[in-house]
Amino acid sequence: MSTFGSTPGSEHVSEKRPEPHGSDGGTRDVIVGIDLGTTNSLVAVCDEAGPRVLVDDDGEALVPSVVRFDAGAVEVGRSARDRAVEFPLQTVYSAKRLMGRGARELAALTAQLAYRVVEGPRGNAVIDVAAAGGGARTVTPEEVGAHVLTRLRAIAEARLGHPVRRAVVTVPAYFDDAQRQATRDAGRIAGLDVVRMVNEPTAASLAYGLGRLAKASVPRAAGAPERIAVYDFGGGTFDVSLLEILDGDSAGGADATTGDLFQVLATAGDTALGGDDIDRAIIDLVTNEIRRDYGAALEFPPTAQQALRRFAESAKIALSERDTTTLEVSLGDERVYRRTLTRVEFEKLARPFVERTIECCRRALNDASASVGSLDRVILVGGSTRMPIVRAAVAAFFEREPYVALDPDQVVALGAAVQGAIIAGTRVDLLLFDVVPLSLGIETVGGAMAKLIVRNSTIPMRAKEMFSTSVDGQTNVKIHVVQGEREMVSQCRSLGTFELRGIPPMPAGIPQIEVELLVDQNGVLDVSAVERRSGRRATIQVVPSYGLTQSEVDRIERDSFAHAREDMHAHRIVDLRVNAALDLKWIGAALDRVRSRLNTAVVGQVEARMQELAGFIRAADVNAATVDADAFYRAKDALDRASMPVHERAITESLRGQEKAEG
Q: Are 63 and 156 in contact (CB under 8 A)?
A: no
Task: Please indicate, yes or no, if residue 81 is contained in any of the structural domains.
Answer: yes
Which of 152-156, 198-202, 480-484 has maximum average pLDDT? 152-156
Query: 137 — phi, psi (to 5°)?
Result: -145, 165
> What pLDDT, on a 0 to 100 scale, did the predictor assign at position 15?
33
558-617: pLDDT as tens digits? 665 676 677 678 778 878 888 888 888 888 888 888 888 888 888 889 899 999 989 998
pLDDT tier for residue 159 given thresholds of 50, 70 and 90: very high
Per-residue confidence band for 431, with pLDDT thresholds at 50, 70 and 90: low
Q: Which of 98, 90, 94 is nearest to 66 (CA)?
A: 94
Which one has a higher pLDDT value, 231 or 426?
231
What is the rounded average pLDDT of the residues 48-65?
88
What is the C-alpha separation between 137 and 243, in angstroms, rounded?
45
What is the domain-level CATH number for residue 650? 1.20.1270.10
> Catalytic residue positions?
35, 96, 200, 232
CATH assignment of the domain containing 305: 3.30.420.40
CA distances from 262 to 36, 265, 398, 402, 426 (A): 22, 10, 21, 20, 17
The domain that contains 508 carries what CATH number?
2.60.34.10
Is residue 626 domain-resident? Answer: yes
Task: List alpha helices for 517-628, DSSP H.
Answer: 550-562, 564-594, 600-623
Among 383, 404, 425, residue at a domain's last position: 404
What was the pLDDT predicted at 334? 72
Pairing of strands 226-233, 2-3: unpaired
Whole-angstrom CA distances from 189 to 145, 146, 186, 488 are 9, 6, 5, 38
The total domain count for the chain is: 4
Alpha-helical (H) ranges within 121-207 are 141-160, 177-189, 200-206
Instruction: Average the pLDDT over each of 147-151, 193-197, 446-450 and give the range with the smallest value.
Output: 446-450
Mean pLDDT across the stretch 103-122? 81
Over the chain, what is the mean pLDDT? 79
Segment 447-461 mean pLDDT? 79
pLDDT of residue 625: 80
Please indicate, yes or no, whether residues 174 and 252 belong to a single structural domain of this protein: no
User: Same structural domain for residues 237 and 386?
Assistant: yes
- Going by pLDDT thresholds of 50, 70 and 90, the confidence category of residue 48 is confident
Closest CA to 93 of 104, 109, 107: 109
What is the distance between the terminal CA atoms of the chain, rounded to a whole angstrom? 40
Burial group, residue 336, by CB count within 10 angstroms (0-12, 13-18, 19+): exposed
Q: Give the structural domain span for 123.
A: 31-189
Residues 260 and 391 in one domain: yes
- Minimum mean pLDDT among 332-336, 347-351, 473-477: which range? 332-336
Q: What is the 3-state secondary structure (H, E, C) of 31-54?
A: EEEEECCCCEEEEEEEECCEEEEC
Q: In this structure, is residue 409 part of a structural domain? A: no
Task: Please state whether beta strands 166-171 and 193-199 pair in parallel, antiparallel, or not at all (unpaired).
Answer: parallel
Does residue 185 sit in the same domain as residue 226? no
pTM of the model: 0.60
Give residue 551's pLDDT band: very low, low, confident or very high (50, 70, 90).
low
Is 69 part of a structural domain of the chain?
yes
Q: Are 474 and 439 a contacting pair, CB within 8 Å?
A: no
State whether 72 and 138 are in the same domain.
yes
Same domain? 72 vs 172: yes
**pLDDT for the residue numbered 351:** 94
Average pLDDT over residues 262-286: 85
Residues 180 and 229 in one domain: no
User: What was the pLDDT predicted at 600?
Assistant: 86
Whether the per-residue pLDDT at 64 is higher than 60: the answer is yes
Q: Which pLDDT does position 220 carry in this prediction?
A: 53
The dihedral sign for the CA sequence 292, 297, 302, 303: negative
Residue of 616, 614, 618, 608 lying closest to 642 (CA atoms) = 608
End residue of a domain, out of 380, 404, 428: 404
291/394 same-domain check: yes
pLDDT of residue 253: 41
Whether residue 540 lies inside any domain: the answer is: yes
Of 297 and 144, more confident: 144
pLDDT in tens, 313-325: 889 989 988 899 8
Highest mean pLDDT among 192-196, 479-483, 484-488, 534-538: 192-196
- pLDDT tens figures, 32-45: 999 999 889 999 99
Residue 329 in domain: yes
Name the helix (H) or strand (E) containing 461. strand 461-468
pLDDT value at 150 more than 60:
yes
Q: What local confidence, expressed as pLDDT, does residue 5 receive?
A: 31
Same domain? For 307 and 280 the reply is yes
* Residue 305: inside a domain: yes
Q: Say which residue, 218 or 503, is predicted with more confidence.
A: 503
556 within a domain of the structure (yes/no):
no
* pLDDT tens by residue, 201-245: 888 877 745 444 444 444 555 556 788 898 989 888 888 888 887
What pLDDT sits at residue 11? 36
Q: 43 and 6 in one domain? A: no
In the structure, what pLDDT confidence band is assigned to residue 408 with cuts at 50, 70 and 90? Answer: confident
- Residue 136 has a pLDDT of 57
Segment 241-260 shows an average pLDDT of: 57
The span from the CA of 648 to the CA of 629, in Å, is 29
Which range (220-229, 255-264, 360-369, 638-647) has the least confidence? 255-264
**Same domain (yes/no): 50, 126:** yes
In the chain, pLDDT over 70 holds for what percent of residues?
Answer: 81
Residues 290 and 400 in one domain: yes
pLDDT in tens, 383-406: 889 899 999 999 999 998 888 766
What is the b/e burial string over 102-118, where b = at least 16 CB atoms within 10 angstroms of the residue's CB? bbebbeebbeebbbebe
Q: What is the pLDDT of residues 642-662, one digit of tens each?
A: 988 888 887 887 776 665 665
CB 339 within 8 A of CB 308: no
Position 537 scores a pLDDT of 82
pLDDT > 90 in the chain, percent: 16
Question: How far apart (Å, rounded) are the C-alpha atoms in residues 363 and 205?
Answer: 20
Treating both helix axes as pointing N-terminal to C-terminal, what angle do 343-367 and 388-398 enclose, rounded to 10 degrees?
Answer: 40
Question: How much is the pLDDT for 648?
Answer: 84
Neighbours of 592 (CB within 10 A): 11
